[in-house]
Amino acid sequence: MSDSVQPKLIVHGGAGSSLQGKGGIDAVRQALYQIVDEVYGLLRDGKSATDAVVRGCQLLEDNPRFNAGTGSVLQSDGQIRMSASLMEGISQRFSGVINVSRVKNPIDMAKFLQGERDRTLSDMGAAELARELHLPIFDPTTDKRLKEWLQDRKDNFQRSMANVIAEDEAGRGTIGVVALDSQGRIAAGTSTGGKGFERIGRVSDSAMPAGNYANRFAGVSCTGIGEDIVDECLAARIVVRVTDGMSLQEAMVRSFEEATENQRDLGAIALDAQGNIAWGKTSEVVLAAYTDGETRGDSLEAENGTVVFVV
């Protein structure tokens, strides 16, 4: 590996149809840029892509504006169940937790599992792991999310809670980070609080290779409607296409054309080993920000409709 690679970074805070529920464009841009600046500082100082991705996910999880960690949405029974995954590109090693409760940063558990034989754990197993790691009990509920859940329940009291899905911005909320470090290593991480008011036991794309995938050629983190992302197997599809010889731009364009044809509601951020930075969306908005070490940019004012942008 060359030690002269210019690190690159892209992060996202979800997708949807409006920025208003997250405080408006200026507030979202400021929040994302602060995270980009701190995380890129780690890459500039020689930290690994994996360390940078974990730190970026922690910062996004800790910001109640985004639907992951603190500020996660409530499921149909009023509980929060979060999922997160991490993939390191050189080893091509995936790890994650599914529907974990009462922890501050699910991405920390995904990081620990990178070194374990059993690398993806669901609800009970994830809860047991949290106890083994002596993670402090943490309630990620915010007043805003509780009010949203109470309103959803009021609006749908005549229907079975297990058959109701909240049709708001939370449904497409996820956070993610993809990084290329100075050694040419790529890592991707994704974390979510779910889509809100969902059936108990529902599994999101965020702890699957469909929503988070990386190898030595490229890395991708997805956001949007989880079922749509799974149906497209979007993250893995893009990475495999780059691995098979497509440019990152070609892989993104082809994959988003297919997603559009299939009427999917989703977005993705990506990096390749050559340092190309990309994002794409079929939703109206994807909340992404990036830096190449010299300039920052974001996706917040991109036109509506399907867009693929490559730096």
The CATH number of 8-310 is 3.60.20.30
**pLDDT cut 70: percent of the chain above it:** 91
174 is annotated as an active-site residue: yes
Give mean pLDDT, residues 224-251. Answer: 97
Give mean pLDDT, residues 167-178. Answer: 70
Q: Give strand pairing partners of 277.
A: 271
Tell me the H-state helices in 45-105.
Answer: 49-62
Q: Report how far residue 178's alpha carbon sits from residue 8's, in angstroms, rounded to the nearest whole number.
A: 8
Q: Does the pLDDT at position 52 exceed 50?
A: yes
Given a contact cutoff of 8 angstroms between Cβ atoms, the answer to whether 49 and 39 are in contact is: no
pLDDT value of position 165: 36
Q: For 121-130, what is each residue's pLDDT tens digit?
A: 998 999 999 9
**164 vs 5, more confident:** 5
Given a contact cutoff of 8 angstroms between Cβ atoms, the answer to whether 308 and 252 are in contact is: yes
Choice among 69-73, 160-164, 172-176 with the minimum mean pLDDT: 160-164
Name residues whose C-beta falls within 8 Å of residue 193's C-beta, 6 or more positions apart in sequence.
67, 68, 69, 71, 72, 73, 80, 81, 82, 140, 170, 173
Question: Domain spans of the chain?
Answer: 8-310
Per the residue annotation, which of 70, 120, 174, 190 is the catalytic one? 174
Q: Does the pLDDT at position 172 exceed 60?
A: no
pLDDT value of position 132: 95
